[in-house]
Homo-oligomer: A and B are copies of this chain.
Amino acid sequence: VARLTGVSTATVTRALQGHPRVLPATRQRVEESASKLGYRPDRLARTLVTGVSQTIGLVIPSSGDAFWGEVVDGFEQQAVDAGFSLVLGLAHGDPERERRMLELLLEKRVDGIVVAAPAGTPRDLHGLVGTTAPLVLVTWDATATPEELDRAVRDPVHEVIASLAASGAGGAWFAHVTTDDIGGSAALVRHLIELGHERIALLAGPALRPAVLRLLGYRVALEEAGLAPGAILTSAETFEAGVEMARELLSARVPPTAIVAYNDVVAIGAIRGARDLGLHVPGDVSIVGFDDIEFASYVDPALTTLRWPKREMGRLAIELLLQGLDGRDEPMTEALAGELVVRSSTAPPPARPAT
Protein backbone atom coordinates (compact mmCIF):
# COMPACT_ATOMS: atom_id res chain seq x y z
CA VAL A 1 0.00 0.00 0.00
CA ALA A 2 1.43 3.36 1.06
CA ARG A 3 4.75 1.58 1.49
CA LEU A 4 5.51 2.21 -2.14
CA THR A 5 6.12 5.73 -1.05
CA GLY A 6 9.38 5.65 0.81
CA VAL A 7 9.33 3.99 4.21
CA SER A 8 8.37 0.79 5.98
CA THR A 9 4.89 -0.27 6.98
CA ALA A 10 5.83 0.18 10.59
CA THR A 11 6.64 3.82 9.96
CA VAL A 12 3.40 4.32 8.10
CA THR A 13 1.50 2.93 11.04
CA ARG A 14 3.32 5.19 13.45
CA ALA A 15 2.94 8.26 11.30
CA LEU A 16 -0.76 7.78 10.83
CA GLN A 17 -1.40 6.91 14.46
CA GLY A 18 0.29 10.08 15.57
CA HIS A 19 3.10 8.30 17.32
CA PRO A 20 5.36 10.86 19.02
CA ARG A 21 8.66 9.70 17.60
CA VAL A 22 8.36 10.30 13.90
CA LEU A 23 10.00 13.14 12.08
CA PRO A 24 7.46 15.75 11.07
CA ALA A 25 8.98 15.55 7.62
CA THR A 26 8.39 11.82 7.16
CA ARG A 27 4.95 12.06 8.71
CA GLN A 28 4.22 14.73 6.17
CA ARG A 29 5.34 12.55 3.30
CA VAL A 30 3.40 9.56 4.56
CA GLU A 31 0.24 11.58 4.88
CA GLU A 32 0.62 12.93 1.41
CA SER A 33 1.00 9.58 -0.25
CA ALA A 34 -1.76 8.12 1.91
CA SER A 35 -4.24 10.68 0.73
CA LYS A 36 -2.94 10.46 -2.82
CA LEU A 37 -3.59 6.72 -2.81
CA GLY A 38 -6.95 7.13 -1.09
CA TYR A 39 -5.65 4.80 1.57
CA ARG A 40 -8.17 3.54 4.13
CA PRO A 41 -6.69 1.60 7.03
CA ASP A 42 -8.26 -1.81 7.51
CA ARG A 43 -9.74 -1.75 10.97
CA LEU A 44 -10.34 -5.45 11.00
CA ALA A 45 -6.66 -6.20 10.65
CA ARG A 46 -6.00 -3.72 13.38
CA THR A 47 -8.58 -5.38 15.61
CA LEU A 48 -6.97 -8.74 15.01
CA VAL A 49 -3.77 -7.55 16.59
CA THR A 50 -4.95 -5.04 19.15
CA GLY A 51 -7.89 -7.09 20.31
CA VAL A 52 -10.34 -4.21 20.37
CA SER A 53 -12.89 -3.63 17.66
CA GLN A 54 -14.40 -0.36 18.84
CA THR A 55 -17.74 -1.96 18.19
CA ILE A 56 -20.71 -2.57 20.43
CA GLY A 57 -23.41 -5.10 19.77
CA LEU A 58 -26.93 -3.86 20.31
CA VAL A 59 -29.96 -6.06 20.40
CA ILE A 60 -33.40 -4.59 20.82
CA PRO A 61 -36.88 -6.08 20.54
CA SER A 62 -37.97 -4.15 17.46
CA SER A 63 -37.09 -1.02 15.57
CA GLY A 64 -40.57 0.20 14.70
CA ASP A 65 -41.24 0.88 18.32
CA ALA A 66 -41.74 4.48 19.46
CA PHE A 67 -40.12 3.84 22.83
CA TRP A 68 -37.03 1.90 21.79
CA GLY A 69 -36.53 4.09 18.77
CA GLU A 70 -35.76 6.99 21.04
CA VAL A 71 -33.57 4.94 23.34
CA VAL A 72 -31.56 3.86 20.31
CA ASP A 73 -30.86 7.51 19.58
CA GLY A 74 -29.22 7.67 22.98
CA PHE A 75 -27.21 4.50 22.39
CA GLU A 76 -25.95 5.75 19.09
CA GLN A 77 -25.11 9.22 20.29
CA GLN A 78 -23.00 8.02 23.17
CA ALA A 79 -21.39 5.22 21.20
CA VAL A 80 -20.35 7.46 18.34
CA ASP A 81 -19.08 10.10 20.73
CA ALA A 82 -16.83 7.47 22.25
CA GLY A 83 -15.65 6.32 18.84
CA PHE A 84 -17.64 3.11 18.74
CA SER A 85 -19.85 1.63 16.06
CA LEU A 86 -23.06 -0.21 16.74
CA VAL A 87 -24.03 -3.49 15.20
CA LEU A 88 -27.74 -3.92 15.44
CA GLY A 89 -29.89 -6.99 15.88
CA LEU A 90 -33.62 -7.28 16.41
CA ALA A 91 -34.84 -10.07 18.65
CA HIS A 92 -38.56 -9.72 17.92
CA GLY A 93 -39.22 -11.18 21.34
CA ASP A 94 -37.79 -14.53 20.32
CA PRO A 95 -35.24 -15.92 22.79
CA GLU A 96 -33.84 -18.26 20.17
CA ARG A 97 -33.29 -15.49 17.70
CA GLU A 98 -31.77 -13.38 20.42
CA ARG A 99 -29.39 -16.17 21.31
CA ARG A 100 -28.21 -16.49 17.73
CA MET A 101 -27.68 -12.74 17.49
CA LEU A 102 -25.56 -12.72 20.62
CA GLU A 103 -23.54 -15.65 19.37
CA LEU A 104 -22.92 -13.87 16.09
CA LEU A 105 -21.95 -10.64 17.82
CA LEU A 106 -19.43 -12.51 19.90
CA GLU A 107 -17.94 -14.15 16.82
CA LYS A 108 -17.65 -10.73 15.28
CA ARG A 109 -15.62 -9.76 18.31
CA VAL A 110 -17.68 -6.85 19.54
CA ASP A 111 -16.14 -5.24 22.60
CA GLY A 112 -19.36 -5.31 24.56
CA ILE A 113 -23.05 -5.93 24.25
CA VAL A 114 -26.18 -4.17 25.35
CA VAL A 115 -29.50 -5.87 25.12
CA ALA A 116 -32.73 -4.03 25.60
CA ALA A 117 -35.73 -5.80 27.08
CA PRO A 118 -34.11 -9.22 26.64
CA ALA A 119 -36.31 -12.07 25.52
CA GLY A 120 -34.13 -14.60 27.32
CA THR A 121 -33.54 -14.82 31.03
CA PRO A 122 -30.55 -13.07 32.55
CA ARG A 123 -29.15 -16.48 33.38
CA ASP A 124 -29.29 -17.52 29.73
CA LEU A 125 -27.67 -14.31 28.63
CA HIS A 126 -24.95 -14.66 31.16
CA GLY A 127 -24.35 -18.25 30.17
CA LEU A 128 -23.95 -17.13 26.60
CA VAL A 129 -21.83 -14.05 26.97
CA GLY A 130 -20.12 -15.11 30.17
CA THR A 131 -16.96 -13.16 30.72
CA THR A 132 -16.25 -12.80 27.03
CA ALA A 133 -17.58 -9.27 26.92
CA PRO A 134 -19.19 -6.77 29.24
CA LEU A 135 -22.96 -6.98 29.06
CA VAL A 136 -25.51 -4.40 30.01
CA LEU A 137 -29.22 -4.95 30.16
CA VAL A 138 -31.67 -2.15 29.63
CA THR A 139 -34.94 -2.90 31.31
CA TRP A 140 -35.69 -6.43 32.21
CA ASP A 141 -39.06 -7.89 31.31
CA ALA A 142 -38.83 -11.01 33.42
CA THR A 143 -42.04 -12.94 33.34
CA ALA A 144 -44.10 -12.59 36.46
CA THR A 145 -45.77 -15.76 37.63
CA PRO A 146 -49.42 -15.78 38.59
CA GLU A 147 -48.32 -16.15 42.21
CA GLU A 148 -46.10 -13.09 42.02
CA LEU A 149 -48.87 -11.07 40.49
CA ASP A 150 -51.22 -12.31 43.11
CA ARG A 151 -48.84 -11.33 45.88
CA ALA A 152 -48.39 -7.91 44.33
CA VAL A 153 -52.13 -7.46 44.42
CA ARG A 154 -52.80 -8.81 47.91
CA ASP A 155 -49.82 -8.86 50.24
CA PRO A 156 -48.68 -5.81 52.16
CA VAL A 157 -46.87 -3.57 49.74
CA HIS A 158 -43.75 -3.07 51.80
CA GLU A 159 -43.30 -6.82 52.19
CA VAL A 160 -43.53 -7.50 48.50
CA ILE A 161 -41.10 -4.72 47.72
CA ALA A 162 -38.68 -5.96 50.34
CA SER A 163 -38.77 -9.45 48.97
CA LEU A 164 -38.28 -8.22 45.42
CA ALA A 165 -35.28 -6.23 46.55
CA ALA A 166 -33.90 -9.23 48.38
CA SER A 167 -34.23 -11.52 45.40
CA GLY A 168 -32.42 -8.98 43.24
CA ALA A 169 -32.95 -8.65 39.54
CA GLY A 170 -32.07 -12.31 39.24
CA GLY A 171 -28.57 -11.63 38.10
CA ALA A 172 -25.69 -9.85 39.69
CA TRP A 173 -23.57 -10.52 36.64
CA PHE A 174 -23.96 -7.36 34.67
CA ALA A 175 -24.86 -3.73 34.67
CA HIS A 176 -28.50 -3.04 34.41
CA VAL A 177 -30.34 0.17 33.61
CA THR A 178 -34.02 0.38 34.32
CA THR A 179 -36.75 2.77 35.18
CA ASP A 180 -38.07 3.51 38.63
CA ASP A 181 -41.43 1.95 37.93
CA ILE A 182 -42.63 2.00 41.50
CA GLY A 183 -41.84 5.67 41.97
CA GLY A 184 -43.18 6.67 38.58
CA SER A 185 -46.39 4.83 39.03
CA ALA A 186 -46.91 6.35 42.45
CA ALA A 187 -46.30 9.83 41.02
CA LEU A 188 -48.96 9.31 38.41
CA VAL A 189 -51.49 8.06 40.93
CA ARG A 190 -50.73 10.88 43.33
CA HIS A 191 -51.46 13.33 40.55
CA LEU A 192 -54.86 11.75 40.09
CA ILE A 193 -55.54 11.73 43.79
CA GLU A 194 -54.67 15.41 44.05
CA LEU A 195 -57.19 16.04 41.33
CA GLY A 196 -59.75 14.44 43.59
CA HIS A 197 -60.08 10.99 42.09
CA GLU A 198 -61.02 8.14 44.40
CA ARG A 199 -61.86 5.33 42.03
CA ILE A 200 -58.71 4.74 40.04
CA ALA A 201 -58.43 1.64 37.87
CA LEU A 202 -55.24 0.07 36.54
CA LEU A 203 -54.69 -1.45 33.11
CA ALA A 204 -51.73 -3.43 34.33
CA GLY A 205 -50.38 -4.64 31.00
CA PRO A 206 -48.72 -8.01 30.44
CA ALA A 207 -47.65 -10.16 33.36
CA LEU A 208 -44.07 -8.95 33.35
CA ARG A 209 -41.85 -7.39 35.91
CA PRO A 210 -42.56 -3.75 35.05
CA ALA A 211 -46.27 -4.41 35.39
CA VAL A 212 -45.73 -5.81 38.86
CA LEU A 213 -43.66 -2.79 39.85
CA ARG A 214 -46.17 -0.33 38.48
CA LEU A 215 -48.88 -2.17 40.31
CA LEU A 216 -46.88 -1.82 43.49
CA GLY A 217 -46.38 1.91 42.98
CA TYR A 218 -50.08 2.28 42.38
CA ARG A 219 -50.82 0.57 45.65
CA VAL A 220 -48.25 2.65 47.50
CA ALA A 221 -49.86 5.92 46.43
CA LEU A 222 -53.33 4.66 47.15
CA GLU A 223 -52.38 3.48 50.62
CA GLU A 224 -50.75 6.80 51.41
CA ALA A 225 -54.07 8.46 50.67
CA GLY A 226 -56.08 5.85 52.46
CA LEU A 227 -57.85 4.82 49.29
CA ALA A 228 -58.74 1.31 48.19
CA PRO A 229 -57.35 -0.11 44.94
CA GLY A 230 -59.75 -0.07 42.03
CA ALA A 231 -60.21 -2.62 39.30
CA ILE A 232 -56.96 -4.13 38.01
CA LEU A 233 -56.82 -5.71 34.55
CA THR A 234 -53.95 -7.57 32.93
CA SER A 235 -53.55 -7.88 29.15
CA ALA A 236 -51.43 -7.28 26.10
CA GLU A 237 -49.81 -3.88 25.72
CA THR A 238 -51.49 -2.81 22.51
CA PHE A 239 -53.79 -0.07 21.32
CA GLU A 240 -56.57 -2.60 20.78
CA ALA A 241 -56.18 -3.99 24.29
CA GLY A 242 -56.51 -0.45 25.61
CA VAL A 243 -59.73 0.08 23.69
CA GLU A 244 -61.30 -3.11 24.95
CA MET A 245 -60.18 -2.87 28.53
CA ALA A 246 -61.36 0.70 28.82
CA ARG A 247 -64.76 -0.32 27.52
CA GLU A 248 -64.93 -3.12 30.01
CA LEU A 249 -63.84 -0.95 32.90
CA LEU A 250 -66.15 1.90 32.02
CA SER A 251 -69.19 -0.27 31.50
CA ALA A 252 -69.06 -1.46 35.08
CA ARG A 253 -71.84 -0.59 37.49
CA VAL A 254 -69.60 1.81 39.35
CA PRO A 255 -66.99 2.83 36.79
CA PRO A 256 -63.65 4.36 37.72
CA THR A 257 -63.19 8.10 37.27
CA ALA A 258 -59.57 7.62 36.30
CA ILE A 259 -57.54 4.97 34.51
CA VAL A 260 -53.81 4.36 34.76
CA ALA A 261 -52.78 2.56 31.57
CA TYR A 262 -49.70 0.40 31.20
CA ASN A 263 -48.17 2.75 28.65
CA ASP A 264 -49.04 5.52 26.23
CA VAL A 265 -50.19 3.26 23.44
CA VAL A 266 -52.58 1.48 25.78
CA ALA A 267 -53.69 4.85 27.15
CA ILE A 268 -54.42 6.15 23.67
CA GLY A 269 -56.46 3.01 23.07
CA ALA A 270 -58.28 3.60 26.34
CA ILE A 271 -59.20 7.12 25.27
CA ARG A 272 -60.69 5.65 22.14
CA GLY A 273 -62.53 3.05 24.21
CA ALA A 274 -63.99 5.74 26.42
CA ARG A 275 -65.13 7.71 23.39
CA ASP A 276 -66.75 4.64 21.92
CA LEU A 277 -68.91 4.62 25.00
CA GLY A 278 -69.79 8.26 24.47
CA LEU A 279 -67.66 9.37 27.38
CA HIS A 280 -65.57 12.51 27.38
CA VAL A 281 -61.89 12.54 28.33
CA PRO A 282 -61.02 14.09 30.70
CA GLY A 283 -64.50 15.34 31.59
CA ASP A 284 -65.94 11.96 32.44
CA VAL A 285 -62.79 9.98 32.95
CA SER A 286 -59.11 10.87 33.27
CA ILE A 287 -56.57 8.65 31.54
CA VAL A 288 -52.80 8.49 31.96
CA GLY A 289 -49.99 6.43 30.47
CA PHE A 290 -46.27 5.78 30.81
CA ASP A 291 -43.36 6.59 28.47
CA ASP A 292 -44.20 9.91 26.83
CA ILE A 293 -43.64 8.72 23.32
CA GLU A 294 -43.70 11.40 20.66
CA PHE A 295 -47.37 10.83 19.84
CA ALA A 296 -48.51 11.30 23.41
CA SER A 297 -48.58 15.02 22.77
CA TYR A 298 -50.17 14.70 19.33
CA VAL A 299 -53.30 12.88 20.39
CA ASP A 300 -56.40 14.73 21.40
CA PRO A 301 -56.61 15.22 24.33
CA ALA A 302 -52.82 15.36 24.72
CA LEU A 303 -51.82 12.69 27.17
CA THR A 304 -50.78 13.17 30.76
CA THR A 305 -48.02 10.64 31.22
CA LEU A 306 -44.89 9.60 33.04
CA ARG A 307 -41.89 10.40 30.89
CA TRP A 308 -38.87 8.14 31.08
CA PRO A 309 -35.58 9.71 30.09
CA LYS A 310 -35.26 7.55 27.01
CA ARG A 311 -32.19 9.06 25.41
CA GLU A 312 -30.56 9.21 28.81
CA MET A 313 -31.24 5.51 29.31
CA GLY A 314 -29.42 4.78 26.06
CA ARG A 315 -26.54 7.03 26.94
CA LEU A 316 -26.15 5.61 30.41
CA ALA A 317 -26.18 2.03 29.14
CA ILE A 318 -23.28 2.74 26.82
CA GLU A 319 -21.48 4.61 29.55
CA LEU A 320 -21.73 1.66 31.92
CA LEU A 321 -20.54 -0.60 29.14
CA LEU A 322 -17.50 1.57 28.55
CA GLN A 323 -16.76 1.48 32.26
CA GLY A 324 -16.94 -2.28 32.00
CA LEU A 325 -14.40 -2.16 29.20
CA ASP A 326 -12.17 -0.10 31.44
CA GLY A 327 -12.04 -2.94 33.87
CA ARG A 328 -14.75 -1.86 36.25
CA ASP A 329 -16.58 -5.02 37.01
CA GLU A 330 -18.79 -4.62 40.00
CA PRO A 331 -22.23 -5.15 38.56
CA MET A 332 -24.66 -2.37 39.26
CA THR A 333 -28.17 -1.37 38.52
CA GLU A 334 -29.33 2.15 37.87
CA ALA A 335 -33.04 2.89 38.07
CA LEU A 336 -33.77 6.17 36.33
CA ALA A 337 -36.54 8.35 37.63
CA GLY A 338 -39.41 9.40 35.44
CA GLU A 339 -40.99 12.81 35.17
CA LEU A 340 -44.68 13.54 35.45
CA VAL A 341 -45.90 15.38 32.37
CA VAL A 342 -49.32 16.85 32.91
CA ARG A 343 -51.27 17.56 29.74
CA SER A 344 -54.94 17.46 28.87
CA SER A 345 -56.14 13.95 29.53
CA THR A 346 -56.53 14.48 33.25
CA ALA A 347 -58.93 16.70 35.18
CA PRO A 348 -60.93 16.55 38.39
CA PRO A 349 -63.52 13.79 38.44
CA PRO A 350 -67.04 14.65 37.31
CA ALA A 351 -69.23 16.08 40.04
CA ARG A 352 -71.22 13.38 41.79
CA PRO A 353 -74.47 12.99 39.99
CA ALA A 354 -77.10 14.31 42.33
CA THR A 355 -78.84 11.19 43.64
What is the interface of chain A, defined by CB distance below 8 A to chain B? 40-45, 47-48, 53, 55, 58, 62-66, 69-70, 72-73, 76-77, 80, 85-90, 103-109, 132, 239, 265, 268-269, 271-272, 275, 294-295, 297-300
- A interface, by DSSP: helix, strand, loop or mixed? helix
Whether A272 and B298, one on each chain, are in contact in the complex, defined by CB atoms closer than 8 angstroms, is yes
Q: Which residues of B contact A42 (CB under 8 A)?
A: 48, 107, 109
Q: Whose C-beta in chain B lies nearest to the C-beta of A77? A: B90
Q: Whose C-beta in chain B lies nearest to the C-beta of A53? A: B44
Bound Cα distance A324, B242 (Å): 45
Other A-B pairs, 10, CB within 8 Å; known A41-B107, A64-B66: A42-B48, A43-B108, A44-B53, A45-B48, A62-B73, A63-B70, A64-B70, A86-B87, A295-B295, A299-B299
Q: Which residues of B contact A64 (CB under 8 A)?
A: 66, 69-70, 72-73, 294
Q: Which residues of B contact A299 (CB under 8 A)?
A: 298-300
Query: Which of B44, B72, B108 touches A48 (beta carbons < 8 Å)?
Result: B44
Bound Cα distance A66, B72 (Å): 13
What's the least CB distance linking A349 to chain B, in Å?
22
Q: How many copies does the complex hold?
A: 2
Bound Cα distance A64, B65 (Å): 8
Q: Which residues of B contact A271 (CB under 8 A)?
A: 300
Query: Which of B40, B109, B275 touches A107 (beta carbons < 8 Å)?
Result: B40
What's the least CB distance linking A204 to chain B, in Å?
21
Ranked 5 nearest A-B pairs via Cβ = A63-B72, A64-B69, A64-B70, A88-B88, A87-B87
Q: Which residues of B contact A43 (CB under 8 A)?
A: 107-109
* Centre residue among A62, A86, A88 by max chain B CB count within 10 A: A88
Query: Which of B44, B62, B80, B88 touches A108 (beta carbons < 8 Å)?
Result: B44
Whether B89 and A85, one on each chain, are in contact in the complex, defined by CB atoms closer than 8 angstroms, is yes
Whether A76 and B89, one on each chain, are in contact in the complex, defined by CB atoms closer than 8 angstroms, is yes
Q: Whose C-beta in chain B lies nearest to the C-beta of A76? A: B90
Whether B300 and A272, one on each chain, are in contact in the complex, defined by CB atoms closer than 8 angstroms, is yes
Whether B44 and A63, one on each chain, are in contact in the complex, defined by CB atoms closer than 8 angstroms, is no
What's the least CB distance linking A29 to chain B, in Å?
22
What's the least CB distance linking A308 to chain B, in Å?
13
Bound Cα distance A102, B204 (Å): 44
Bound Cα distance A55, B55 (Å): 13
* A-B pairs with beta carbons under 8 Å apart, 13 shown: A40-B107, A44-B48, A44-B108, A63-B69, A64-B73, A77-B90, A85-B87, A85-B104, A86-B87, A87-B87, A239-B297, A275-B300, A300-B300
Q: Which residues of B contact A103 (CB under 8 A)?
A: 40
Q: Whose C-beta in chain B lies nearest to the C-beta of A294? A: B64
Q: Whose C-beta in chain B lies nearest to the C-beta of A271? A: B300
